[in-house]
Chain A
Amino acid sequence: MSAEKDIVLDVQNLKVDIPVSAGMLHPVRGISFSVARGETLCIVGESGCGKSLTSLALMGLLPKNAQRSADRINFLDQDIQNLKEREMARLRGVKMAMIFQEPMTSLNPSYTISNQLEEVYLRHISSNRAEARERAIFLLGKVGISSAESRLGQYPHQLSGGLRQRVMIAMALMCGPDLIIADEPTTALDVTIQAQILHLLAELQADFDMAMILITHDLGIVARVADKVQVMYAGLTVEEGPCEAVFDTPLHPYTSGLLRCIPVPGKTAPGQPLGTVPGIVPNMVGELQGCMFRNRCEHATDVCETLPNSATQLANGHAFTCRLSPDAATRSEGA
C-alpha cells in the first residue's frame, strides 16, 4: 500500500444510461475504481450486470444511443470525458487497448494478419512499414505464435480460436499501451486454451508493465491473476478490495454466493456439491430502490426493501455494500 503508485486510470461514479421504450435503462449505476501501472483489476459479475458496457464506456465505444456520465474518468492524469471523438481515437489503440470476447469474429475476414497488426502501428507510431512488420513479428513471438513470419500472410479463417485471440492480444500490444482492457478474453475458448491465454496475459502485463482491467465471470481466473477485485451486481459495485481479502473474507452475500459456485482447493471437500445463486439479475429499468440483490439473497430482511445502500469501508481498501453486518453475511460460510 504505497502512496507512490502510478495511477493509470481513475474512475469516479461512472454511469451508463440507455433510453428504451419502457423508460431509462441503467445498466451501469455509478461505479468507481482505479488501476495503477503493473496492477490487475478484475471486474467480476454474471451476465447482464454491466461489465462489458463499463469497458466500452471507458474506451468511448458505447452504442450511439447510450449515454455516459461520471464525476471523473482520469486517464494518464487527463479527464477524457469531454474529449472529442478524434482525440479519443488518438488514445485508443495507442494508450489504451482492448481485447474482446469473440476472437472468431473480432478480426476482419478480408485482410491478412500482418495487414491488421501493422495498420494500428502505421496509424499511430510511424509510417515505416519495415518497422511495423518487425514489431508485428516480435509480438507474435511474444504471444507464443511459432513461425510468426509465415502466420503474417494468413487470413483469420485459417487460424484457430486460440490463435486468433493471441493475434488480438498482439494487436492490442502493437503500440505499447499503458492500459489494457480484456473483456472476457477466454469465454469463447476451449478450457485447455483458456488457462494458456490467461497465463499469457498475466505474463505480458508484467513484462510490458501495463495496467490491466480484466472483465470476467469466472472467479477461478480472478483468483489466479487479480491484484484487486471489483464485484459488480446490476450495475453497482457490491464488493471491492484486494484479491486475498475478497476471497478469504467475502462480505457481501452475492460474493460469497459466487464463491460457493467454484471449487476452492483446501476449502471444498471432495464430493461436496457446488452451490448456485438462484434467480436472475433484476430488470434495470428505472430508479434504484433498496438493495438490488434482495430477492436473491438468503439473508434479506425488511430493511433491504427500502433503505438505499452505502458502502462500508474496511481497512486495506476492502469495501462492501450491504445492510447486514459482515457476520450475518458470511454466517453460512461457517468461516
Chain B
Amino acid sequence: MIAYALKRIFVAFLILLVVSGLTFSLSHLSADPALTIAGEQASDEDIEAVRKLYGFDRPIVEQYGNWLGRALQWDFGDSFHYKAPVVEMISGRIGTTMTLGFLAILFALVISIPLGTLAAMRPNSFIDRFALLIAVFGQALPTFWFALMMIIVFGVWWRWLPISGNTTWAHFVMPTIALGYYATPALMRLTRAGMIEVLGSDYIRTARAKGLSPTVVLFKHALRNAIIPVVALAAVWFGFMLGGSIVIETIFNLKGIGWLSYDALLRSDLPVVQAIVLIFASFYVVLTLLADLLNAYLDPRISVR
C-alpha cells in the first residue's frame, strides 16, 4: 500500500511539471507580455525597455526556469494589471471556489447515489424512468443556460434568492445547483449500472442466503462494492467542478479564482493565468491521486497489483 502510494505521488509530480511547462510556453506564445504591461499607447522603445526590464528577451527556457524556481518557493510574481502579488490574489479567493466546488459535488452525490440506487433496484420502473429523465436533462442542458434560467425564475420572478455576489450562504444556492447538476448524470448512471451488476452477483445471493436483512444486503454488501467506481469518478468531477466554476462564478459574480481567471484572461495577465492553471492542474492531479488511494482502501484487491 505504501509503495503503491509513493509510486502514484511520483507520477503526480511528473504530470504537474509537464503541465507547468506547457502552460508557460503556450501563454508566452499567445500574447506578448511586454505589450500588455506597457499598454496600447506605448512606443516601440518603451516596449523594448519593458521587455528588457522583465527579462522577456531572455530565451524561453531560461524564463521558465526562473519562473519555476520562484513558483516552487510559492512566488508566482505580481499581476501585470493589479500590481499585487498573485499568491495574495489567489489565496484571498480560493476559499470561495473550493466552497462552491465542494457544495456542488456534494449536491451531485446526494442526488445521484440514492436515485441511482433506487433506479437499480427496480429497472424500468417509474423511478428508473424519472432518474433517466433527470440525467438526460442534466447532460443536455448547457450549464450557463440552466444558470440563467434559474436566475430568471428564482432570482427575478420569485425573488427567493440573490443572483449576484458571495456574501451569504444564500448566494451559493443557485451556483451550487447549477454546477452540481452538471455532474449528476454521470454519477447517477454509474451508480445505477454498478448497483445492477452488483445486485445480480453471487455474493449478494450468498448474503441473502445468510438471512441478512434487506437493509444490510443493500447497504453493506451491495452499495459498498457499487460505490467504488463512483468514488473515483466523483473525485475527478470535483476537479471539473473547480475548473467549471469559471463560467458559474462569472455568471453569478462569485469572486473566486474561476472569476479571477476569466478576468485575467481578458487582460492577458499572464502571471495570474499561469498560476491559476497550475493550481487547477494540481487539484486534478491531487484529486485523482486521492481517488486512487481511496479506491485502494475501499477495494482491497487494487493495491495488490
Q: Would you mind naming 17 contact pairs between A and B with Cβ atoms under 8 Å apart?
A: A61-B209, A91-B211, A92-B208, A92-B209, A92-B211, A98-B209, A105-B201, A106-B205, A106-B206, A107-B203, A107-B206, A109-B225, A109-B300, A110-B299, A119-B216, A119-B220, A168-B206
Contact B221 A93 (CB under 8 A): no
| A225 to B258 Cα, complex, angstroms | 72
* Residue B298 at the chain A interface, CB threshold 8 Å: yes
Whether A108 contacts B304 in the complex (CB less than 8 A), given A123-B211, A124-B211, comes out as: no
* Residue B44 at the chain A interface, CB threshold 8 Å: no
| A93 to B224 Cα, complex, angstroms | 22
Nearest CB on B from A264, distance (A): 34
Nearest CB on B from A156, distance (A): 9
Contact-residue size bin, chain A (C-beta under 8 Å from the other chain): 20 to 34
B contact residues around A94 at 8 Å (CB): 211
| A193 to B230 Cα, complex, angstroms | 38
B contact residues around A109 at 8 Å (CB): 203, 225, 299-301
Which residues of A are interface residues toward B (Cβ below 8 A)? 59, 61, 85, 88-94, 97-98, 100, 102, 105-111, 119-120, 123-124, 155, 157, 168, 171
The count of A-to-B residue pairs whose CB atoms sit within 8 angstroms is: 75
| A102 to B301 Cα, complex, angstroms | 19
The closest CB in chain A to the CB of B200 belongs to A63
B contact residues around A89 at 8 Å (CB): 208, 211-213
Max chain B Cβ within 10 angstroms of own Cβ: one of A89, A98, A107, A123: A89
**Contact mask for chain B residues 196-234; partner A; CB cutoff 8 A; 1 contact, 0 none:** 000001110111111111101000110011000000000
How many residues of chain B have a CB within 8 Å of chain A?
Answer: 23
Whether A110 contacts B300 in the complex (CB less than 8 A), given A61-B205, A102-B202, A105-B201, comes out as: yes
A contact residues around B205 at 8 Å (CB): 61, 100, 106
Contact B210 A92 (CB under 8 A): yes
B contact residues around A93 at 8 Å (CB): 209-212
A contact residues around B299 at 8 Å (CB): 109-110
Whether A97 contacts B212 in the complex (CB less than 8 A), given A102-B202, A107-B203, comes out as: no
Which residues of B are interface residues toward A (Cβ below 8 A)? 201-203, 205-214, 216, 220-221, 224-225, 298-301, 304
Contact B225 A108 (CB under 8 A): yes
Which of B206, B211, B224, B304 is the one whose CB lies under 8 Å from A100? B206
The closest CB in chain B to the CB of A115 belongs to B220
Contact A157 B211 (CB under 8 A): no
| A123 to B304 Cα, complex, angstroms | 32
Nearest CB on B from A123, distance (A): 6
Which of B208, B209, B216, B224 is the one whose CB lies under 8 Å from A110? B224
Known: A106-B206, A109-B301, A110-B224. 7 other contacts (CB 8 A): A61-B208, A100-B206, A106-B202, A110-B298, A119-B216, A120-B212, A123-B216
The closest CB in chain B to the CB of A123 belongs to B212
